[in-house]
Structure 1
């Protein structure tokens, strides 16, 4: 049946691709044929971004983040930083404690041990509510991408891993202004 919005459904249907009259519903999921007429879910196709010339799988980074004991749930997406190519990693996190009590050095060490440098999120946005999902339980990322790390667009605390620094620090309006002005070389 597709989506509840007929226009959205129609945009996801590719018609007349291989032969006249055929139709294919593009779910955005990558599947693997595992034989015996069974398919296995692999990843969301649209859930990657490029940073430092590398493809970053949001699903893989979410799995690593969710493996840190103080994180309840994460959503990873790419955001633009002025003067850079690609999109820097950003994660919205729901924590099991107030953000002031998180062991930020331990989280940073964990991420550096588990992820390649280009996949470590540059920004961490802390939320106290559940992550919004679609009717098919996919994370809603569009609003998060638009608001990015801009402290003027939301009230959530944001932490940043600045170039050359060994750990995350709280994003302030002054640091944000420096990022926007290109004073940091990401």
Structure 2
């Protein structure tokens, strides 16, 4: 796209392009040139809107992580309905879509990105940290309803579920596990935490 042509919603166009490159070609191939080529715009467009490429990637990660709020609200509203195992299996399946798995890999791949995210106040690995808080909050709500054992350590169960879920989805090379495998994994992590 020639310089001077107006691009509507540049951030979303560039973020979408970055996701497509990341999913198709992996973290190694994610460069500013690859993103702007995929977006169909001049390379300078990215640098007019972001200080540098790591700043762009940090904004991408924070934007995508911010979208977990709606999922957290939905999971919390599901407390007391369905089954705890089923609700969590569904939440993990929604959480670990291909983009989320690729974003976690990107964060671990790029030192500069991790530094930017820490500077932005994002502890741990963004997405995984927020997912852990989301699941801990849900488990606490279920514990209050008596659907999780009173002595269950939800702050230990939540990262165990997120870690098991991430490994389950990341090990597939893009093909998600079937629903029964996710349910079995959640049930195994929660063994002993659910009342008889």
Same fold (TM over 0.5): no
Q: What TM-score does the superposition give when structure 1 sets the normalisation length?
A: 0.26
In terms of fraction of residues, the more helix-rich structure is 2
**TM-score normalised by the chain length of structure 2:** 0.25
